[in-house]
Structure 1
Amino acid sequence: MNEVTLNRRQWIAASGAVAAAAWSAPQLLSAAEPIANRTSPHFKLSLAAYSYRKLLQGNKPELTLADFIDDCAKMELDGTELTSYYFPPNVTAEQLLELKRQAFLLGLSVSGTAVGNDFGHPAGEERDKQIAGVKTWIDNAAILSAPVIRIFAGHAKKGVSADESHRLMVEGMQEVCDYAGQKGVFLALENHGGPTATADGLLKLVKDVDSPWFGVNLDTGNFHSEDVYAELAQVAPYALNVQVKVVVSGPDKKKVPTDFAKIAKILRDSNYRGFVVLEYEEDTDPRTECPKFVAKLREALA
């Protein structure tokens, strides 16, 4: 073995070690900062199953999630958001895979799912139940190939200080984010009242959870300040998923139509790349109204 061969082999070995180290320890960005490397905006359209809640729930629901997926395809959407509330309580892997199969054959991605949780509970049975429920849906999301789950922070409980509530919520989210990262699923915290009712309150929580698998689910209808759109713009750089309501309201809670053009500009200015999900919450028939609002949203985002 000559010196040239030895040096070459040493160089290859060293290069392999460097590559292996780089592969095993990727430089993932923390959700504490705005999402970087988004060079230009790109939007994909989806619809939240929550829009069909009156049709999907009850002892004898009018529709199934399979029907909802069919409707998403008829609207020529890119994705379908399958809210956890409308699955059987003990949904099986086989049932999840069948919906995944249906969506794929119709040209749809499962854009995400959503859970109802509350990490404001102190240590005990109820808190354990909340954490276990989110972990179950992380497993389900992985089966569905749903990239993101919308979660809540929760609410302060009687007799628990604001600082302690914040700690409880951060610790709960940290635990489920650590688990989600092992499954390749992102968790997105929604601005949903309580400590997340304002942009500042939401971001205070986001910045205290140390996980590259964590960010924001930006709901356009859930800020109620004097300048809703300014708050949305403040949070948009952290968004992993966006849900668009058809109305907004200020401190007086008076509903006014959402300015889709303003929403589109906010998302473009933040170079948002991802799903924009219509979430229809009004009282009229969603099967009639959702296609109309999807068309308006598609036009605004074009």
Structure 2
Amino acid sequence: MCGLSSSIGEVKGKVYPISSTLLVFSKLTFEESLERLREIGVDGFELYNPFFYKGIFRGTLSFDQEGLRRVEELADSYGFKVTSVNAGNNFVQASRDLFEGQVKGVKMCIDAAFNLGTPVVRVFGGEPMEGKTEEECVRAIVEGLRMVASYAEERGVTLALENHGKITNNVDILLRILDEVDSEALKVNMDTGNFYWYGYSLSEVEEIFERLAPVTAHTHMKNGTAERKYERRKIGEVKLTPLPEGDINLLKVVRMLKEKGYKGVISIEDEFEGWTTLPQEKVVEILKRDVEYLRSAF
């Protein structure tokens, strides 16, 4: 096990390392999921904390010292980098005890990232809750992120807040949270498909990407199609597709990130129709095309 490195690392001959989430293979064992990733041709993967993702990989992944040592050994044996450690937190909770449990889980991710030499922890904010106003939800998110950001600063880890769900997909709220937490340790995990899912028009989505690029520490490449792509829509009025088939020009997004000085990885979170139900061979085939598509950006 090693201390934190200053960067995820460069891949010879490639502008950006290509990473992938592992959720698409979460019903396999952890090692089986890495075998699938090797077929796809990525350079690394995002590591999910079973504290938040109960039973993931059939219980074959743990975040204790021995479990993380095993992660490191397997990553090395497959030639992968662990590009982020992912929390599935929600700071909008019904009680203080539940809230503090979420803080504890994120700190566990920060410790794991430090020990694995991974510079980024992906975090969420939270979701609306009956009986709480939007303002109360935002305040809870800000409080939680302040608590974990100070811890991340001590460990030299960057938190990447994802635009996710019904609160932080509002770009103004997302930026307000960053401003109020006011920590160099808190940046953004830019999920390209989630803003489109939230209902922003295609042109608005492109503007948002430009706006967020300077504060982006990690990415999720996702795409989809909408019947009224140039108009504001209701949440969810989008069909998620393989990366090359959606309305968003992801190659343009990747090139823009490079122009803006982005130093992280390009990570795939492709939730195309059937991503959890299609035969594994078909899923691998689609994800291989995703990798080839993203590499064609340069």
Bigger RCO (CA 8 Å, 6+ sep): 1
The correspondence of residues 106-125 of structure 1 with structure 2, limited to 5 A, is 106-121=78-93, 124-125=96-97
Corresponding residue number in structure 1 for 2:74: 102
Corresponding residue number in structure 1 for 2:113: 141
Q: 1:232-277 CA distances to partner (integer Å, 9 max, x unpaired)?
A: 2221221100110142555252336142222223313322121000
CA distance, structure 1, for counterparts of residue 178 and residue 266 of structure 2: 20
CA distance, structure 2, for counterparts of residue 179 and residue 123 of structure 1: 22
Q: Is the 8 A contact 2:219 2:265 kept in 1?
A: yes
2:17 partner SS: strand
Structure 2 counterpart of 1:77, one-letter code: V
1:158 partner SS: coil
Question: Are 2:43 and 1:78 equivalent residues in the alignment?
Answer: yes
Corresponding residue number in structure 2 for 1:272: 262
The Cα shift of 1:297 comes to: 0.9
CA distance, structure 2, for counterparts of residue 268 and residue 143 of structure 1: 29
Corresponding residue number in structure 1 for 2:17: 44
Question: Are 2:284 and 1:287 equivalent residues in the alignment?
Answer: yes
CA distance, structure 1, for counterparts of residue 171 and residue 190 of structure 2: 10
2:106 partner SS: helix
CA distance, structure 2, for counterparts of residue 97 and residue 271 of structure 1: 33
Corresponding residue number in structure 1 for 2:32: 67
Which stretches of structure 1, 4 residues or longer, exceed 4 Å deviation after superposition? none
Unpaired runs of at least 5, structure 1: 1-40, 58-62
Larger radius of gyration: 1
Q: Is the 8 A contact 2:224 2:238 kept in 1?
A: no
- Structure 1 range deviating more: 131-140 or 169-178: 131-140
TM-score, normalized by length of structure 1?
0.76
CA distance, structure 2, for counterparts of residue 263 and residue 129 of structure 1: 36
The Cα shift of 1:279 comes to: 0.8
The Cα shift of 1:149 comes to: 1.4
User: Percentage identity across aligned positions?
Assistant: 30
2:150 partner SS: helix
CA distance, structure 2, for counterparts of residue 48 and residue 211 of structure 1: 26
Corresponding residue number in structure 2 for 1:232: 209
CA distance, structure 2, for counterparts of residue 178 and residue 122 of structure 1: 24
TM-score, normalized by length of structure 2?
0.77
1:170 partner SS: helix
Aligned residue pair count = 253
Match 1:206 to one of 178, 190, 198? 178
The Cα shift of 1:222 comes to: 0.5
* Distance 1:134-1:239 versus aligned 2 partners, 3 A rule: same
1:143 partner SS: helix
Q: 1:136-170 CA distances to partner (integer Å, 9 max, x unpaired)?
A: 22222223322211111102333333333222211
Corresponding residue number in structure 2 for 1:177: 149
Q: Is the 8 A contact 2:68 2:112 kept in 1?
A: yes
CA distance, structure 2, for counterparts of residue 90 and residue 272 of structure 1: 31
The Cα shift of 1:122 comes to: 5.7
The Cα shift of 1:123 comes to: 5.1
Question: Are 2:238 and 1:254 equivalent residues in the alignment?
Answer: yes
Q: Is the 8 A contact 1:199 1:232 kept in 2?
A: no
CA distance, structure 2, for counterparts of residue 79 and residue 104 of structure 1: 10
2:128 partner SS: coil
Q: Is the 8 A contact 1:43 1:272 kept in 2?
A: no
2:76 partner SS: helix
* Distance 1:299-1:140 versus aligned 2 partners, 3 A rule: same
